[in-house]
Chains A and B, each alone.
Chain A
Amino acid sequence: MKEYTFLAVASAVLALFLDRFLHTAVLRKREYWIAIGVMFFFKIPSNGYLTWRPIVLYNPEYFLGVRLWSIPLEDFFYGYGFITATIVLWEYFLRKDRTP
């Protein structure tokens, strides 16, 4: 298993666990899934440009080498994990803000 592949998938799984652990249940919210769709829609041109130009160069030693357009497959897991964990934490702290 390549290192970036492992880390990217692990981070996405951890984000899902974070949602359970903090009882934020964003995975059950419609707005979460729509937001994921919107973010991924804009991710393709921006991440695509960064990797097509390329502004960021990936070391073949650490990723599978599978790309969608120019984007390494791992980047989709990485992005999903980052966006999910951000929304989970936002919901968590928002709740704390409302109920001091």
Chain B
Amino acid sequence: MKTEYLLVLAAILVFPLMLSLVMRIRMYKHPRAMLFSMGIMCVVYWTWDVLVTARGHWSFNPAYVLDARLLGMPVEEWLFFIIIAFVAIFTYEAVRLVIGERSAQ
């Protein structure tokens, strides 16, 4: 199924998005900090990924990814870093909230 990589990404996002509805995660109040941290991470890791994909470190099985590609990588791979960076910050802030440390405000 060509949408499988996309479905894996959706599965990764399900928990954080659902928890967003019930937890008061304050990260959304800091769009600039989100943009800068996620932006820097994506640019660095996109660059790394484009270079090593071209070099042949890894490849993507055409049976499970969409045909849309940018600089040799499927769109799912580009989305991957945005999603993981988001989930990392979300998890960190959610843990903070649960253990009662001072969270982002």
Residues of A within 8 A of B (CB): 3-4, 7, 11, 29-32, 34-35, 38-39, 42, 46, 49-50, 53-59, 61-63, 82-83, 85-87, 89-90, 92-94, 96-97
Among B32, B56, B57, B64, the residue within 8 A (CB) of A93 is: B32
Distance in angstroms from A54 CB to nearest chain B CB is 6
Give bound CA distance, A83 to B84, whole Å: 8
Residues of B within 8 A of A (CB): 4-5, 8, 11-12, 15, 27, 30, 32-34, 36-38, 40-41, 45, 48, 52, 55-61, 64-65, 81, 84-85, 87-89, 91-92, 95-96, 99, 101, 104
Distance in angstroms from A13 CB to nearest chain B CB is 15
Among B33, B87, B91, the residue within 8 A (CB) of A96 is: B33
Main secondary structure on chain B at its contact with chain A? helix
Among B41, B56, B60, B65, the residue within 8 A (CB) of A82 is: B41
Distance in angstroms from B76 CB to nearest chain A CB is 9
Known contacts A49-B8, A57-B58, A62-B56; is A85 also within 8 Å of B41 by CB?
yes
Which of A50, A54, A92, A94: most chain B Cβ within 10 A?
A94
Q: Is the CB of B37 within 8 A of A53?
A: no
Q: Is the CB of A86 within 8 A of B30?
A: no
Q: Is the CB of A7 within 8 A of B52?
A: yes
Q: Is the CB of A50 within 8 A of B99?
A: no
Q: Is the CB of A89 within 8 A of B12?
A: no
Task: Give chain A residues whose Cβ lies under 8 Å from the Cβ of B5.
Answer: 50, 55
Task: Give chain A residues whose Cβ lies under 8 Å from the Cβ of B37.
Answer: 86, 89-90, 92-93
Complex A-B: 16 CB contacts under 8 Å? A3-B55, A39-B91, A46-B12, A56-B60, A62-B52, A62-B56, A82-B41, A83-B84, A86-B37, A86-B38, A86-B84, A87-B88, A87-B89, A90-B37, A92-B37, A93-B37
